[in-house]
Chain A
């Protein structure tokens, strides 16, 4: 309870400074709206924001899921093959340098305009942390454990199934948690590059119409969404990997 009070106090203080700063004329409300006007936009535009939030949420959730599946597959392939490690790992790194505005038109051309092209962009920006973390997890397995399995006549595949993969699961979760805010910003960039719905789209529209409180409200919802997703993942990790970090 004291923790909750502390959090509320800090947030209230920051918002208070912000409010006073704008009200006192420190910034033009056209560029930096005051918290009270953002709150008002959240209430007034709630149905608009909600329906567009659902679009963005779908992009982010499915995108992370896609990233997890592809990232896991790529990590395992790289883990098993030195040739793949040498050839593919640099490409994985390079894929993160591709600017979304360059990629978006190509994806729209291939996949059409809508959910699928956004999914690919979200997955692209978020699979990197999953691959890096998973590979580290797979490589961090105690070499003595692998030796032990070999004296038990375990095949390479069984060593992977019984030892390496379960040992790497916490790292997969770490990668996914790092990917959450990246995926949210990825969805935003994808919508900016071309869309007709979503919080990024709302932001862009509101910005152009000088409705800054609404634009800020859209960003606020994105932030809350990222926090919620992060907390949810932490909870799922605790349920799925009870042995990790909280041994009974």
Chain B
């Protein structure tokens, strides 16, 4: 059994970096070969938030699975400190309460239920879920479900977070609120983050850098440094300018 070092609020940040260098990854679907990534490179320094934007089907999810060690590259190098995934859909367990869902990563490593719940409880309060500890996912709002899912990934205690379009399923208003919330949480609880999204604005508002990917097979076609103080305003001229540059790199002219 793996010894679990109990993560405490505010002491959880662990340095960790990500390096993806010249990675190719091809899938065989029936008899056709589909190249998901070709010569993809990306890096994230410890504590850095890297937004990854690209058109649909450009291999963004494959990239995250490589970083999480769920897949191996065909060629090229992937080196990452331990990474925990936050999937596109929240994938909360419908039979478990918010508290038990948040504690799932701890239970996955063998922590007894009572201990895992006690550890997760103060985090639910911090994440604005107080009073919903015993509520099942079906009765939570979309934003709350996403917060539980994010907390579950944070409590995995990994230095790297791989977020796969975490807010894509939310309505526009909730998404903006959740972006502000995530910005706040990550300022409080720094982690290395690879944030995959198709929302360019989200990448610019949240990222230290934005990596733009080409259509499939995906590779990085541009890297845009976002050197702006936080919290960033999505309507500020600087944000709008960077957003325009990213869209241009995507081949979209606004």
- Chain A positions near chain B (C-beta within 8 angstroms): 142, 144-145, 147-154, 158-159, 162-163, 166-167, 241, 243-244, 247-248
CB interface residues, B 81-117, toward A, < 8 Å: 83-85, 87, 89, 91, 93-95, 104-105, 107-110
Q: Is the CB of A148 within 8 A of B136?
A: no
Partner of A243 from B2, B69, B94, B108 at Cβ < 8 Å:
B94
Q: Is the CB of A144 within 8 A of B89?
A: yes
Q: Which residues of chain B come closer than 8 Å to A247, judged between CB atoms?
A: 94, 136, 138-139
Q: Which residues of chain B come closer than 8 Å to A248, judged between CB atoms?
A: 136, 138-139
Q: Is the CB of A152 within 8 A of B84?
A: yes
Q: Is the CB of B95 within 8 A of A243?
A: yes
Q: Can you name the residue of chain B whose Cβ is closest to the Cβ of A166?
A: B95
CB interface residues, B 136-193, toward A, < 8 Å: 136, 138-139, 156, 158, 162
Q: Which residues of chain A come closer than 8 Å to B68, judged between CB atoms?
A: 147, 151
Partner of B93 from A147, A150, A163, A241 at Cβ < 8 Å:
A163
- Chain B positions near chain A (C-beta within 8 angstroms): 2, 65, 68-70, 83-85, 87, 89, 91, 93-95, 104-105, 107-110, 136, 138-139, 156, 158, 162
Q: Can you name the residue of chain A whose Cβ is closest to the Cβ of B83?
A: A151
Q: Which residues of chain A come closer than 8 Å to B107, judged between CB atoms?
A: 158, 162
Q: Is the CB of A148 within 8 A of B95?
A: no
Could you tell me the distance between the alpha carbons of A149 and B84 in the complex, rounded to whole angstroms?
Answer: 9
Known interface pairs A142-B91, A151-B156, A154-B109; 15 further A-B residue pairs with C-beta atoms within 8 A, sorted by A's residue number: A147-B85, A147-B87, A149-B104, A150-B70, A151-B84, A153-B108, A153-B109, A158-B108, A159-B108, A162-B93, A162-B108, A163-B93, A166-B93, A166-B95, A248-B136
Q: Is the CB of B95 within 8 A of A152?
A: no
Q: Which residues of chain A come closer than 8 Å to B95, judged between CB atoms?
A: 166, 241, 243-244
Q: Can you name the residue of chain B whose Cβ is closest to the Cβ of A153?
A: B109
Q: Which residues of chain B come closer than 8 Å to A152, judged between CB atoms?
A: 84, 104-105, 108-109, 156
Q: Can you name the residue of chain B whose Cβ is closest to the Cβ of A150?
A: B70
Could you tell me the distance between the alpha carbons of A152 and B94 in the complex, rounded to whole angstroms?
Answer: 19
Could you tell me the distance between the alpha carbons of A153 and B1 in the complex, rounded to whole angstroms?
Answer: 11
Could you tell me the distance between the alpha carbons of A69 and B108 in the complex, rounded to whole angstroms?
Answer: 26
Q: Is the CB of B70 within 8 A of A153?
A: no
A248 to chain B, nearest CB (A): 6
Q: Can you name the residue of chain A whose Cβ is closest to the Cβ of B68?
A: A151
What are 22 A-B pairs with beta-carbon distances under 8 A?
A145-B91, A147-B65, A147-B68, A147-B87, A148-B85, A148-B87, A151-B70, A151-B83, A151-B158, A153-B108, A154-B108, A158-B108, A162-B93, A162-B104, A166-B93, A166-B95, A243-B136, A243-B138, A247-B94, A247-B138, A247-B139, A248-B136
Q: Which residues of chain A come closer than 8 Å to B139, judged between CB atoms?
A: 247-248
B101 to chain A, nearest CB (A): 11
Partner of B2 from A153, A162, A163, A244 at Cβ < 8 Å:
A153
Q: Is the CB of B110 within 8 A of A148?
A: no
Q: Can you name the residue of chain A whose Cβ is closest to the Cβ of B65?
A: A147
Q: Is the CB of B93 within 8 A of A144?
A: no
Q: Which residues of chain A come closer than 8 Å to B93, judged between CB atoms?
A: 162-163, 166-167
B153 to chain A, nearest CB (A): 8
Could you tell me the distance between the alpha carbons of A167 and B92 in the complex, rounded to whole angstroms?
Answer: 12
Partner of A144 from B84, B91, B109, B138 at Cβ < 8 Å:
B91
Lowest 9 A-B CB distances belong to which pairs? A247-B138, A154-B108, A152-B108, A152-B105, A243-B95, A151-B85, A151-B68, A243-B94, A152-B156
B84 to chain A, nearest CB (A): 5
B64 to chain A, nearest CB (A): 10
Given A147-B65, A163-B93, A158 and B70 touching (CB < 8 A)? Answer: no
Could you tell me the distance between the alpha carbons of A144 and B91 in the complex, rounded to whole angstroms?
Answer: 8
